[in-house]
Amino acid sequence: MLYEVMTPGLLRGFKRESQEFTLSPNKSKLEYAFVDKEIGTNAPGDGILSAEASESISSIHGQAPLARWTKTFRATYTLQPGRDVSAAWNAFFDTIKDRQKEARSRNAGVSLIPKHFSAEDPSVYGPRQKVSLSMTYEIAGMYLPAALGATGLWKPIPNSDYRLWANSTATSFGPRGGAGLRFDVGDDKIIDLCRAETPPPTHDLREGNVNIIGPIGAALGTALAQQFFTQLRAALAPTKAASWLHYEVYSRVVIDSGAMVVKTLPEEPLTRAELRTDTWNVGQIGRLPLGTNNALPQVAKSPGGSLQAEFPGPNGVGDTGIQYRTTPTVHVYITGRAVRYGFDIPHPQLVSVDGFPAVLISTGTPGEGFKSGIVGQSLYPAFGASWNLHYVVPGLKAAPGAPYNPLWAPPG
């Protein structure tokens, strides 16, 4: 009873870091020391003696302009004796769900994609059961100003009730500790040093909290894991509006004017042109003959050469003309790619240009068409697609002068 009388109560916002009782051999003197430490804003939670946690966000490299983020939350919980791993499990995933709810409440168009999860027992043979959990997920569709305020950084931990935590851990921080150790007068015994005596087996004073490793492993591997997966899948189900992770599309306009290039045929028969036949061995003379007075090599007569003829016109060049054989035709090529989480990507379609219907045509060119498939897997599959589509827009007139892109700007 003396231990209970001498043990001070906890101040609000503090935890018991250590406590020590020293009883003199003649049982006439009791020395004690207590060290309490301030825990700050967040209390560990029901059934958890202490907790260490960190959370961070970082932009994904190459994803400009800072619109996709990686969020990581990791924590290590020290359990109260007799409590199974569900206490740490609940505290961890309550925090994860709180952060994800905060992100979606700030930005309805955000996508949350789990990327990595790990669980660890960092102290298998330690005096206290510990649980380390970590989870990383991707946040897409949120720019820098919103990301700092909506990802949960520096936000209080949910269910952080100091009074609830202090009451749940009172026995562990009490004068008898979690094991409930007690010294009775009858425990004193006179030992005969001349006789070898085997001490009796120790008995468990906790009565029922001996083997908790089995239930911990079973709970973590079955019911809790399945429950969390089901809840997380339902909580992070993507919506159609917030499912697009990447989308880019380009248009290329080609105007077939219907013009053909025509040239006047020569009036005279083709004759053989003469070619230069001069050759030099640079290794022997060390320099080209061109280096001497800039003299050009002479053209030598040779039976070789190419056929050519003189054309009428200035400087012997033949006339070149343009012949319009058809009316102009506007061709539009639509290319792009996309990534979507949880939903398949529909085939894009160009409906009209400047009010004129667009007609999809196919020439069988390699790489032409639309392709899609699954490119990743998280709680839901991620779909990817690319396309190269060729359209003709009958009736669309090209503006005079340089061709323009009717998809983006009006003529002129």
The parent domain of residue 352 ranges over 245-259+326-393
Q: Are residues 340 and 231 in the same domain?
A: no
Task: Please report whether residue 309 resides in a domain.
Answer: no
Q: Are residues 230 and 250 in the same domain?
A: no
Task: Please report whether residue 175 resides in a domain.
Answer: yes
Rounded alpha-carbon distances, angstroms, from residue 39 to 46, 54, 95, 402:
15, 15, 18, 72
Q: Strands of 68-79's sheet, edge to edge? A: 48-59, 68-79, 130-140, 111-120
Task: Count CA atoms closer than 13 A to 371's CA, side-chain side.
Answer: 5
Identify whether the C-beta of residue 360 lies closer than 8 Å to the C-beta of residue 391.
Answer: yes
Residue 182 C-alpha from the chain's centroid? 54
Tokens, residue 216: 């911990």
Q: Are residues 335 and 225 in the same domain?
A: no
Task: Please report whether residue 265 resides in a domain.
Answer: no
Q: Are residues 252 and 179 in the same domain?
A: no
Identify whether the C-beta of residue 307 lies closer than 8 Å to the C-beta of residue 271.
Answer: yes
pLDDT for res 209: 44
Amino acid making up residue 73: F
Tokens, residue 356: 């004129």
Q: Are residues 71 and 16 in the same domain?
A: yes
Reduced 3-state DSSP string for the chain: CHHHHHCCCCCCCEEEEEEEEEECCCCCCEEEEEEEEECCCCCCCCCEEEEEEEEEEEECCCCCCCCEEEEEEEEEEEECCCCCCHHHHHHHHHHHHHHHHHHHHHCCCCEEEEEEEEEECCCCCCCCCEEEEEEEEEEECCCHHHHHHHCCCCCCCCCCCHHHHHHHCCCCCCCCCCCCCCCCHHHCCCCCCCCCCCCCCCCCCCCCCCCCHHHHHHHHHCHHHHHHHHHHHHHCCCCCCCCEEEEEEEEEEEEECCEEEEECCCCCCCEECCCCCCCCCHHHHCCCHHHCCCCCCCCCCCCCCCEECCCCCHHHCCCEEEEECCCCEEEEEEEEEEEEECCCCCCCCCCEECCEECEEECCCCCCCEEEEEEEEECCCEEEEEEEEEEEEECCCCCCCCCCCCCCCCCCC
Which residues of the chain are modeled with pLDDT < 70?
A: 1-2, 61-65, 170-193, 195-222, 224-225, 266, 268-318, 398-412
Task: Please report whether residue 209 resides in a domain.
Answer: yes
Task: Please report whether residue 298 resides in a domain.
Answer: no
Q: Are residues 190 and 254 in the same domain?
A: no
Per the rule left: phi > 0, alpha: psi between -120 and 50, beta: everything else, 152 is: left
pLDDT for res 107: 77
Q: Would the pTM count as exceeding 0.75?
A: no
pLDDT for res 409: 46
Dihedrals φ, ψ of 334, to 5°?
-110, 120
Q: Are residues 21 and 53 in the same domain?
A: yes
Number of independent structural domains in the chain: 2
Task: Please report whether residue 321 resides in a domain.
Answer: no
- How far apart are the C-alpha atoms of 228 and 91, rounded to whole Å? 12
Q: Are residues 121 and 231 in the same domain?
A: yes
Task: Count CA atoms closer than 13 A to 43's CA, side-chain side.
Answer: 19
Task: Please report whether residue 412 resides in a domain.
Answer: no
243-291 residue pLDDT tens: 888 888 999 999 888 888 887 776 766 666 555 555 555 555 455 555 4
Q: Are residues 83 and 148 in the same domain?
A: yes
pLDDT for res 5: 72
- How far apart are the C-alpha atoms of 245 and 214, rounded to whole Å? 42
Tokens, residue 245: 């992770």
pLDDT for res 45: 85
In DSSP terms, 30 is beta-bridged to: 23
Amino acid making up residue 302: S
Tokens, residue 197: 């005596």
Task: Please report whether residue 19 resides in a domain.
Answer: yes
Q: Are residues 61 and 208 in the same domain?
A: yes
- How far apart are the C-alpha atoms of 23 and 93, rounded to whole Å? 44
Q: Which residues of 60-83 are buried (b: 16+ CB within 10 A; e: fewer)?
A: eeeeeeebbbbbebbbbbbbbbeb
Of 184, 209, 242, which closes a domain? 242
Q: Are residues 218 and 130 in the same domain?
A: yes
Q: Are residues 189 and 255 in the same domain?
A: no
